[in-house]
Amino acid sequence: MDAITLTRPDDWHLHLRDGAALEATVGHSAAQMGRAIIMPNLKPPVTTTEQARAYRERILAALPADTTFDPLMTLYLTDTTPPEEIERARASGIVKAVKLYPAGATTNSSSGVTDLARCDDTVAALAASGMPMLVHGEVTDGDVDIFDREAEFLTRVLTPLLARHPTLRVVCEHITTAQAADFVLAAGENVAATMTPQHLLLNRNDMLVGGIRPHCYCLPILKRERHRQALLKAATSGSKKFFLGTDSAPHAQGDKESACGCAGVFSAPAAVELYATAFEQAGALDKLEAFTSHNGADFYGLARNAERLTLERRDWQLPQSYAYADGQRIVPMKAGDTLSWKLITG
């Protein structure tokens, strides 16, 4: 096969940042994606509908001309988010989901939820609203090993949460383990998951053998090869519960190549090509379009994009870095590597 046409994809988990960084990031995603769910972990976080509206305006202002990219906004859940804020968000039409960051779990999560029991009324309002809760599913307890934090979250937090709120719609974000894939498959129709290019293409050896590669470091951390295989199997299984969410998480080169490097992989410039590479490795290119362009829209109850794009089989080399905020550079996933698919973006 030398070319694949597919419905324009959407990114159901994306970090664009703000200010000068936003100017540098948004074009990469707008070139490939029709829509994206925009993560709210700014400093300070996007906790109200009014803040989401203002952030959306800044994103639209930073977009290149001639794009139809539609940013779908999210609210950052805190211990003190009132139930009324959920209703304001739903009524706004611009907020499509609410994000749960366990406090301390990842980049800019210090204002996250310390104990879900504290926001039970708000979670009930969210379940009633029909908007999904997007979950960074890792426990933060110091006694839990970093490689076990996702699996522990499923049993310690998500299972009791769904028992208390059985109609709550949940997207398990950036899943990394066989346990998470199995959990989502066994759960009801209200539970789905996104997967990143790095968790479909890389295992922890790729990050740690022969030298430490900070540009492969993200949270949840890369896992063993058997987990990568389990994710690929789930993504290509034909289940509608799995869809594209890059978790493209830009950090300046100097903040990654550091004694205490930031978590996050910048995958936006070649996101669709990276997923195509993973699906081809699994012998499942015929399942790519559902994952990139159908399942997410269907889960969110939104129309699929009308436009179609072509992926061509053509070798091209990813740049070593791109321009970022304030004269800094940013290093993409697979920098300098040759990919054998190229999305034709007009």
Among 34, 71, 137, 264, binds ligand NCD (CB under 6 A): 264
By CB under 6 A, residue 41 contacts ligand NCD: yes
Annotated ligand binding at 247? The verdict is: yes
| Angle ∠(277,280,285) on CA atoms, nearest 5 | 115
Name the amino acid, one letter, at 115: D
Rounded Cα distance between 327 and 64, Å, is 19
By CB under 6 A, residue 116 contacts ligand NCD: no
The answer to whether 162 touches 168, Cβ cutoff 8 Å, is: yes
Among 4, 26, 193, 219, binds ligand NCD (CB under 6 A): 219
Q: How far is the CB of 148 from ligand NCD (least distance, A)?
A: 17
Using the rule CB under 6 A, give the single segment among 101-109, 123-131, 276-284, 314-322 that binds ligand NCD: 101-109
Q: How far is the CB of 338 from ligand NCD (least distance, A)?
A: 25
The answer to whether 246 touches 267, Cβ cutoff 8 Å, is: yes
By CB under 6 A, residue 311 contacts ligand NCD: no
By CB under 6 A, residue 11 contacts ligand NCD: no
Residue 228 near which of ligand NCD, Zn ion, none (CB within 5-8 Å, type-dependent) = none
Rounded Cα distance between 202 and 96, Å, is 30
Residue 281, SS3 per DSSP: helix
* 247 assigned to active site: yes
Specify the pairing of strand 191-195 against strand 322-323.
unpaired
Burial of 180 (0-12, 13-18, 19+ CB in 10 A): buried
The answer to whether 141 touches 105, Cβ cutoff 8 Å, is: no
One DSSP character per residue, 53-83 reads HHHHHHHHHHSPSS---EEEEEEE--TT--H
By CB under 6 A, residue 218 contacts ligand NCD: yes
The token pair at 59 is 């994103």
| Angle ∠(6,220,90) on CA atoms, nearest 5 | 65
The answer to whether 6 touches 287, Cβ cutoff 8 Å, is: no
Closest CA relative to residue 182, chosen from 227, 243, 127, 135: 227
Applying CB under 5 A, the residues found at the interface with Zn ion are 106, 136, 247
By CB under 6 A, residue 247 contacts ligand NCD: yes
Specify the pairing of strand 322-323 against strand 170-172.
unpaired
By CB under 6 A, residue 157 contacts ligand NCD: no
Q: Which of 10, 121, 247, 337 is catalytic?
A: 247
Nearer to ligand NCD, 6 or 52 (CB): 52
Annotated ligand binding at 263? The verdict is: yes
Annotated ligand binding at 342? The verdict is: no
Nearer to ligand NCD, 107 or 277 (CB): 107
Among 35, 56, 90, 136, binds ligand NCD (CB under 6 A): 136
Residue 41 near which of ligand NCD, Zn ion, none (CB within 5-8 Å, type-dependent) = ligand NCD
By CB under 6 A, residue 34 contacts ligand NCD: no
Using the rule CB under 6 A, give the single segment among 4-12, 102-110, 162-170, 177-185 that binds ligand NCD: 102-110
The answer to whether 25 touches 268, Cβ cutoff 8 Å, is: yes
Give the residue numbers of the binding site for Zn(2+): 13, 15, 99, 136, 174, 247
Catalytic amino acids?
A: 247
Residues near ligand NCD (CB under 6 A):
15, 41, 106-108, 136, 218-219, 247, 249, 263-264
Give the residue numbers of the binding site: 13, 15-17, 41, 99, 136, 174, 219, 247, 251, 263
